[in-house]
Amino acid sequence: MRLLSYFRGEAFQRGVHPPQCKLTARTKIRRLPFPPRVIVPLSQHIGKPPRPIVRVGEEVVRGQPIAKADDWLSVPHHAPVTGVVEFIGLRPGMRGPWVESIVIRAHPGATQEDLWGQPRDLSNASAQDLLQAIWDTGMVGLGGAAFPTHAKLTVPSQAKVHTLVVNGCECEPYLTCDHRVMVEQADDLVEGIRYAMRATGAQRAIVGIEDNKPDAADAIRAALARRGPLPEGEIHAELVPTKYPQGSEKMLIMALFGVEIPAGGLPVSLGMVVNNVGTLAALGQLLPRGRGLTERVVTITGPGVARPGDYIVPLGTPLRFILDYAGAPEAQAKEVILGGPMMGQAAASLDVPVTKGISGVVVLRGEDIALGADRKIYPCIKCAECVESCPMGLNPSMLGMLAAKREYDLMGEQYHLGECFECGCCSYVCPSNIPLVQQFRVAKQILREKAAAAKSS
């Protein structure tokens, strides 16, 4: 009840409570078999795509680097399977257009053991060496944004980081991969947090977990108790009230510290760095073994899946293979979402591979999306539901009316369109069924193009 929210301590203002649908919160992480063929797109992250360093016909072993980062804001890729490079060229991408990819045919008889990396001791490594080691793993933010982790952990020279915020909120409905990672890989997570604290110089780390998964916090506290005192500093696991979009770093920092990150600023301006639990758990696994990122935990779920669960999926596995294995009859699948249902992207085809930034595959049947899809679109009745749900404090009702009139400049200048991070709360609650977020995405793209044109001329 919103009436009561004024009297109750709330994590952040506004936001929504979509049905959680966490079907797989109690099932253990399982391993998906290796597909006969993997497709590794070169651009899986924010930044420049890396350059392939293998030729067609070359034999690769699992974990071997196959693409090299030329630019600082770029990461290398490693072969997800032992096999032969079959093709380097265009393959279907998750956004629709075909993208440059490396296709590797797996050896049917290979054991698929990760033989490439050398175990190493990083206990005395400097921050610089640690960042280089993190870069070499090809790690990006596994929560969905896919921002290169070494860049995120690099502290600008004028700033000083005192706190590492570890984001274990996982506020999207259906997704449970971060939840299961926290429960089952708590020791790796603590290791990863320690590396990240040393790389950034943070004196404390706080794992923010939504209170719908107290078992994750218990698992982390138990792992911390097993470790005893750490030389890096304090690590706390903290429960925050469940609410969408808590997983946004601005909202999580608001919930933990009660402070707003200034508009246009980054958490580092307040001395904080935010990282996802999946990313740090993977770092904790990979860094001491000297390996690269070749697989990740993906939640395969939705009403259209017979055997939903959290699976360890080799990167580059095509969706068709995953859905066959998890038991999603193709005739039933009406929409396949990469990521969560609030912010995820609908897959354009089932030949699209799993990439580093995909945290979930949600399969919806026709009857599940009928609620939103076949509903009539009414004019805005100014019910103020969107204003009451926008976590950024915008006025989506007004923005939507301006977008319909193509007043994009006005939206950007007076109604703070740039602050919108497309969480989808306004579209979710809109009783008139107006596709507000879609309109804002178009408007933002047009404004970006205008700004780029103005810059170049």
Partner 1 sequence: MTIEIRSAPHIKAPRSVPTIMRHVVWSLVPVCAFFVYQYGLSALASLLVVTASCLATERLFVRTGTQAGDIGDFSAVITGLLLALSLPPAFPLWMGAVAGFVAIALGKALTGGIGFNVFNPALVGRAFAQAAFPQAIATYSPSFLPGRFTEFVPSSLAWPLMQPADLMPWLKERQLDALAAATPLAKWKFEGVLAGAEELLTSLSGHMAVGPSPLLILLCGSYLAFRRFLDWRIPAAILGSAGLTAWLLFALSPERFPNPFFMLFSGGLILGAVYMATDMATSPVTPKGMWLYGALIGLLTVIIRYYSGLPEGVMYAILLANAATPLIEKVTQPTPFGKSALARLGQAKRGASYPLHPGYISREEAHAVTPKKRFLRNKPKPEGRRKPEKSS
> How far apart are CB 340 and partner 1 at their closest, in Å?
9
Residues 252 to 281 in contact with partner 1, rule: CB under 8 A: 254-265, 270-271
In the bound state with partner 1, the residue whose beta carbon lies nearer, of 104 and 186, is 186
444 touching partner 1, by CB under 8 A: no
What one-character-per-residue DSSP string does 161-187 give? --EEEEEE---SSS--HHHHHHHHSHH
Residues 362 to 401 in contact with partner 1, rule: CB under 8 A: 362, 364, 369, 371-373, 375-376, 378-385, 387-388, 390-395, 397-398
SS3 of residue 196 by DSSP: helix
List all residues 6 or more positions away from 4 whose beta carbon is below 8 Å from its beta carbon. none
In the bound state with partner 1, the residue whose beta carbon lies nearer, of 102 and 217, is 217
Tell me the C-alpha distance between 6 and 3, whole Å: 6
| Of residues 270, 183, 284, the one with CA closest to residue 230 | 284
In the bound state with partner 1, the residue whose beta carbon lies nearer, of 43 and 203, is 203
Residues 193 to 212 in contact with partner 1, rule: CB under 8 A: 203-204, 206, 211
Residues 53 to 92 in contact with partner 1, rule: CB under 8 A: none
**85: which strand partners?**
104
> How far apart are CB 142 and partner 1 at their closest, in Å?
19
- Encode 360-381: b = buried (16+ Cβ within 10 Å), e = exposed: bbbbbbeebeeeeeeeeeeebe
347 touching partner 1, by CB under 8 A: yes
Burial class (CB within 10 angstroms; exposed 0-12, middle 13-18, buried 19+) of 355: buried
# residues near partner 1 by CB under 8 A: 108
- Encode 258-272: b = buried (16+ Cβ within 10 Å), e = exposed: eeebeeeebbbebeb
Of 31-39, 134-142, 251-259, 278-286, the window that binds partner 1 (rule: CB under 8 A) is: 251-259
> How far apart are CB 3 and partner 1 at their closest, in Å?
6
Per-residue x/- mask for partner 1, residues 106 to 125, rule CB under 8 A? --------------------
Tell me the C-alpha distance between 318 and 350, whole Å: 7
Out of 100, 184, 234, 351, the residue judged to bind partner 1 by CB under 8 A? 234
Out of 100, 351, 407, 422, the residue judged to bind partner 1 by CB under 8 A? 422
325 touching partner 1, by CB under 8 A: no
> Other CB atoms closer than 10 Å to residue 61's CB: what's the count?
17
Of 57-65, 105-113, 148-156, 436-444, the window that binds partner 1 (rule: CB under 8 A) is: 436-444
In the bound state with partner 1, the residue whose beta carbon lies nearer, of 74 and 355, is 355
Out of 169, 287, 336, 354, the residue judged to bind partner 1 by CB under 8 A? 336
416 touching partner 1, by CB under 8 A: yes
Per-residue x/- mask for partner 1, residues 162 to 191, rule CB under 8 A? xx---------x------------------
In the bound state with partner 1, the residue whose beta carbon lies nearer, of 110 and 263, is 263
Per-residue x/- mask for partner 1, residues 21 to 60, rule CB under 8 A? ----------------------------------------
410 touching partner 1, by CB under 8 A: no
> How far apart are CB 257 and partner 1 at their closest, in Å?
5
Give a three-class secondary structure readout of 284-312.
Answer: HHHHHHCCCCCEEEEEEECCCCCCCEEEE
CA 401 centroid distance within chain: 31
> How far apart are CB 238 and partner 1 at their closest, in Å?
6
Continuous segment of H or E residues that includes residue 257: helix 249-257
In the bound state with partner 1, the residue whose beta carbon lies nearer, of 256 and 287, is 256
105 touching partner 1, by CB under 8 A: no
In the bound state with partner 1, the residue whose beta carbon lies nearer, of 23 and 270, is 270
350 touching partner 1, by CB under 8 A: yes
Measured distance between the N- and C-terminal CA atoms of the chain, rounded to whole angstroms: 52
Pairing of strands 309-314, 295-301: antiparallel
> How far apart are CB 155 and partner 1 at their closest, in Å?
16
How many residues does the structure list for the chain?
457
Tell me the C-alpha distance between 197 and 161, whole Å: 9
> How far apart are CB 47 and partner 1 at their closest, in Å?
23
| Of residues 388, 389, 414, the one with CA closest to residue 401 | 414
SS3 of residue 86 by DSSP: strand
> How far apart are CB 374 and partner 1 at their closest, in Å?
11
Of 118-126, 132-140, 282-290, 426-434, the window that binds partner 1 (rule: CB under 8 A) is: 426-434
Q: Do 240 and 207 contact (CB within 8 A), yes or no?
A: no
Tell me the C-alpha distance between 181 and 35, whole Å: 23
